[in-house]
C-alpha cells in the first residue's frame, strides 16, 4: 500500500475509533447507509392466510358445541344476521344452516386478523373458543325454510334472469380451460370442503362483495389461495351472475331446503 493510501484512510479510521470510544454519536441516517444492503432478489416473508388447522383437537372443540348456549349467545348477532339466521340486509351474510367448520373458521380468521372487518374483529376478540363452538352448533341447526313472519332479504330476484345460464354453467361444470372447478364441488351439494360454506341460501349482495374482495386481494383468508385464484379469473358479468343466482335461491341444492 502506498503512503498516500495510508494517509487517505487515516481520518476514516480515527473517526470510527472515536465513535467506538463514545466520542461521537453516529447519526441514524449514517448508520442506515452503512448497514448491509438487502439482496435485490430477496422475497417477502411467507404470509399464512389462516391460522386454522383441522387437527383432531380443533375438530373435537368444534363438535362439542352446545346449541342451547349458542342460542343465548346469538342474541348479540341478531341485529345484523337476523333472529333466525337470515339477515334483512343483503350485504350481511346469512348464518342459518352454516356448517360448524365454516362458522368456526371465519370467527377464528376474524380473531387473528386474517380476515379484515373492524366490526367482526372486535366481536370475535370477545369470544372464547367455547363460545365460537356453541354459536357454530346453534347456527348449524337453524332451518333454512322461509317463514312468513321474517323480514329476510333472501331470496332476491335476479336483475337479469338471462344470467342464470352463465351462473349454472360455472356452478355445475366450472371452466376447465381456465382451471376453474365447479362451485358445487366445494360449496355443495355435490361435495363440501372443510371450511367452505354452503351458498344456496346466501345473500347475493354479500357474495358479490366477497368475490370482489377475493379478486382484488383485500380478502386473503382462503387456504391454498383457492378462492383468490378463481375469483381473479372471473369476469365482472360472471361474478354478478353467480352472486345473483345464489341470492335468488336458484343454486343447486336450493330445492332441498
Domain locations in the chain as residue ranges: 56-141, 161-256
Our CA angle for 194, 231, 188, nearest 5°, is 35
Which pLDDT tens digit goes with each residue over 186-196? 999 999 999 99
Which pLDDT tens digit goes with each residue over 81-95? 999 999 999 999 999
**What is the spatial distance between Cα 184 and Cα 204, in angstroms, rounded to a whole number?**
16
CATH of region 56-141: 1.10.760.10
- Give the confidence band of 147 by pLDDT, cuts at 50, 70, 90: confident
**What is the per-residue pLDDT for 254?**
65
| pLDDT over 60 (residue 177) | yes
pLDDT mean across residues, the chain: 86
State which CATH number among 2.40.110.10, 1.10.3720.10, 3.30.2320.50, 1.10.760.10 fits the domain covering 161-256: 1.10.760.10
DSSP code, position 201:
T
**What is the per-residue pLDDT for 35?**
44
| pLDDT over 50 (residue 77) | yes
First vs last C-alpha separation in the chain: 89
Identical fold, 56-141 and 161-256: yes
Question: What 3-state DSSP class applies to 10?
Answer: helix
**Nearby residues of 115 by Cβ (< 8 Å), 6 or more positions away:** 106, 109, 219, 221
Q: What percent of the chain is modeled with pLDDT above 90?
A: 77
- CA dihedral (98, 100, 102, 107) positive or negative: positive
User: Can you tell me the mean pLDDT for 199-224?
Assistant: 97
Amino acid at each position: 500500500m502506498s503512503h498516500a493510501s495510508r494517509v487517505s484512510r487515516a481520518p476514516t479510521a480515527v473517526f470510527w475509533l472515536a465513535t467506538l470510544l463514545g466520542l461521537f454519536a453516529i447519526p441514524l441516517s449514517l448508520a442506515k447507509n452503512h448497514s448491509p444492503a438487502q439482496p435485490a432478489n430477496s422475497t417477502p416473508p411467507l404470509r399464512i392466510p389462516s391460522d386454522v388447522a383441522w387437527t383432531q383437537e380443533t375438530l373435537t372443540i368444534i363438535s362439542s358445541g352446545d346449541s342451547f348456549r349458542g342460542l343465548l349467545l346469538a342474541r348479540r348477532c341478531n341485529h345484523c344476521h337476523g333472529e333466525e339466521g337470515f339477515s334483512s340486509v343483503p350485504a350481511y351474510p346469512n348464518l342459518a344452516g352454516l356448517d360448524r367448520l365454516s362458522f368456526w373458521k371465519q370467527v377464528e380468521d376474524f380473531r387473528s386478523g386474517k380476515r379484515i372487518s373492524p366490526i367482526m374483529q372486535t366481536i370475535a376478540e370477545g369470544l372464547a373458543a367455547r363460545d365460537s363452538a356453541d354459536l357454530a352448533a346453534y347456527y348449524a341447526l337453524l332451518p333454512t325454510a322461509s317463514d312468513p313472519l321474517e323480514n329476510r332479504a333472501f331470496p332476491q330476484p335476479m336483475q337479469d334472469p338471462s344470467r342464470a345460464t352463465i351462473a349454472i354453467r360455472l356452478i355445475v361444470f366450472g371452466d376447465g380451460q381456465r382451471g376453474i372447478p365447479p362451485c358445487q364441488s366445494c360449496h355443495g351439494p355435490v361435495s363440501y370442503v372443510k371450511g367452505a360454506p354452503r351458498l344456496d341460501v346466501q345473500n347475493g349482495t354479500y357474495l358479490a362483495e366477497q368475490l370482489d374482495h377475493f379478486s382484488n386481494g383485500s380478502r386473503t383468508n382462503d387456504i391454498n389461495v383457492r378462492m383468490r385464484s378463481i375469483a381473479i379469473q372471473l369476469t365482472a358479468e360472471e361474478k354478478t351472475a353467480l352472486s345473483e343466482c345464489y341470492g335468488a335461491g336458484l343454486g343447486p341444492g336450493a330445492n332441498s331446503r
